Amino acid sequence: MAEGKILTINMGPHHPATHGVLRLVLELDGETIVKVTPHIGHLHRGIEKLAENMNYQQVIPLTDRFDYTAASLNNLGYCTAVEKLLGIEVPKRAQYIRVIMSELARIMGHHLWIGSHALDIGAMTVVFYAFRDREMIMNMVEEVSGYRLTPSYMRVGGLARDITPEFIRCLREFIKWFPTAVAGYNTLLTDNIIWRKRTQDIGVISAEDAINYGLTGPSLRGSGVAYDLRKVKPYSSYDDFDFQVPVGDKGDVYDRYLVRMEEFIQSLNIIEQALENLPEGPVNVDNPLIFNPQIEDVQEDISALIRRFKIQCQGPEIPEGEIYHAVEGSKGELGFYLVGDGTEHPYRMKVRSPCFILVSALEKLMLGHMIADAIAIIGSIDIVLGEIDR
């Protein structure tokens, strides 16, 4: 077609289907996409620069703001990264509670994904059910941490506090209820003929291409590569639990959908095992150089008071070294590259954000498809702009 017939349109930054402030410049030949140029950075807050001027514990609330749909997973990634740099391991009970919180966060992230993904394509009902069940988890998170969206529940060296009996009661109720809820989402979408026609054979990417373009998480597993960091590089006692890594085979939008639907069940499975085998004991490491002494000790013991004062004013000192540590976020490989220089501030903190790489692969996924399919493809890779722009 002649050059003059190419139509350039601007999708975003304020477009409901871009899931945040993402701007896509689409070049269209009729209704077919011939070029995609994503523009990001509207939500850039300079978290990496800010972190260089804070102490290690103060960075934790910032990490909540990466992927705010599944904030506990970011806490887990950051805290385990600092602990890897320190060379310490938190008590077993803390590891299990961290697993419970992060799997709940993964379910929360997937709830937001399924709600908005289906809503974008035109299935409005799902979002109400998804948010009804998301609310149950939000209440549980509020019960243990005091916050709903940005819990900041984990600390370097353990947790902010232990879980409560009320939390365990709610969690048991949720475990009993949730399989019914997932079956409900399945009824609405999986065999829905409109859903299938909108998602099958759309945004296909082969396993080899997916790896080369750096896709991770459910987007990579949809293409049939079983790369799940919980299995291949276990952290926080994930090797204690028995769970499956669902994979697709074709790598289209529908396969990525099926993988995430199965992850709902697998996450619930992990939570159930962690709750049943929850060990007793402390939730913080017994290391006065890293963690605050207990409040009871502070009230009785002058040396504990001094230690607390030092940690509160200066923060823990982290040794020199460089590590890369990655956890399986709800969107993919969430990595932290930390450079410690022996002071209380990180010398450099780089976040490997899965969504950042996923958006860079958008052009590969979209080329040759209709403009309406662009919406389905953006939904299927499940992006959160807070994590892309950092």
Partner 1 sequence: MENAKVVEQIKGKFADAIIEDIEFRGDLTIVVSLEKLHEIMLYIHDDESLHYDLLSDVIGIDRLPREPRFEIVYVLHSMDDFRRLMVKVMVDVDIAVPTVTDIWKSADWPEREVYDLLGVSFSDHPDLRRILMWDDFDGHPLRKDFPLKGKDFDKKWDPSTIKVM
CB of 382 to partner 1, least distance (A): 17
Q: Residue 85: CB partners within 8 Å, gap ≥ 6?
A: 318, 319, 321, 323, 338, 340
Angle at 226 between CA 192 and CA 37, to 5 degrees: 70
Residue of the chain from 20, 157, 316, 335 that contacts partner 1 (CB under 8 A):
335
Contact call for residues 13 and 42 (beta carbons, < 8 A): yes
Q: Identify which of residues 39 and 132 has a Cβ nearer to partner 1 in the complex.
A: 39
Cβ closer to partner 1: 83 or 382?
A: 83
Nearer residue to partner 1 within complex by CB, 307 or 345:
345
Site string for partner 1, 61-100 (x = CB under 8 A): -----------------------xx-x-------------
What's the distance, Cα to Cα, between the start and end of the chain in Å? 40
Rg over CA atoms, the chain = 22
Distance CA 79, CA 66 (A): 14
Closest to partner 1 by CB, 288 or 321: 321
- Asked if residue 267 lies in contact with residue 182, where contact means CB atoms within 8 angstroms, the answer is no
* Structure token pair of residue 310: 């030092």
Residues between 219 and 248 that touch partner 1 (CB under 8 A): 225, 227, 232-233
- Closest to partner 1 by CB, 67 or 133: 67
The CA distance from 319 to 271, in Å, is: 34
- Chain centre distance of CA 113: 11
Give the rounded distance of the alpha carbon of 245 from its chain centre: 17
C-beta closer to partner 1: residue 382 or 389: 389
Complex with partner 1: residue 54 or 175, whichever CB lies closer:
54
The interface region with partner 1, picked from 92-100, 113-121, 134-142, 208-216 by CB under 8 A, is: 208-216
Q: Does 342 bind partner 1 (CB under 8 A)?
A: no
Question: Contact, 19 vs 116, CB < 8 A?
Answer: yes
Q: Which is nearer to partner 1, 233 or 310 (CB)?
A: 233
DSSP type of residue 300:
H
Is residue 322 part of the contact set for partner 1 (CB under 8 A)?
A: yes
304 binds partner 1 (CB under 8 A): no
Nearest to 292 by CA among 314, 271, 277, 260: 314
Q: Are strands 6-11 and 23-29 parallel, antiparallel or unpaired?
A: antiparallel
CA-to-CA distance for 358 and 370, rounded, in angstroms? 20
326 belongs to the binding site for partner 1 (CB under 8 A): yes
- Residue pair 92/279 in contact (Cβ under 8 Å)? The answer is yes
User: Per CB under 8 A, does 41 bind partner 1?
Assistant: yes
Q: Identify the bridge partners of residue 72 per DSSP, sorted by sequence position.
A: none
- The distance of closest approach from Cβ of residue 336 to partner 1 in the complex, given in angstroms and rounded to an integer, is 10
Chain centre to alpha carbon of residue 85: 22
The answer to the question of residue 383 lying near partner 1 (CB under 8 A) is no
Figure out which of the listed residues 272, 333, 373, 382 binds partner 1, where binding follows CB under 8 A: 333
Stretch that binds partner 1, among 43-51, 63-71, 90-98, 152-160 (CB under 8 A): 43-51
Q: How far apart are CA 287 and CA 5, in angstroms?
A: 68
Rule CB under 8 A: choose which of 8, 10, 164, 212 binds partner 1: 212
Contact status: 147 vs partner 1 (CB under 8 A): no
Q: How far is the CB of 188 from partner 1 (least distance, A)?
A: 34
Q: How far is the CB of 201 from partner 1 (least distance, A)?
A: 22
What is the Cα–Cα distance from 338 to 78, expressed in whole angstroms?
Answer: 9
Q: Which is nearer to partner 1, 98 or 221 (CB)?
A: 221
* Residue written as token pair 């299990």: 96
The only residue of 16, 29, 30, 46 in contact with partner 1, by rule CB under 8 A: 46
93 residue type, one letter:
R
Binding site for partner 1 (CB under 8 A): 40-41, 44, 46, 48-50, 53, 84-85, 87, 211-214, 216, 225, 227, 232-233, 321-324, 326, 333, 335, 337, 339, 347-348, 350, 352, 356-357, 359-361, 364, 389-390
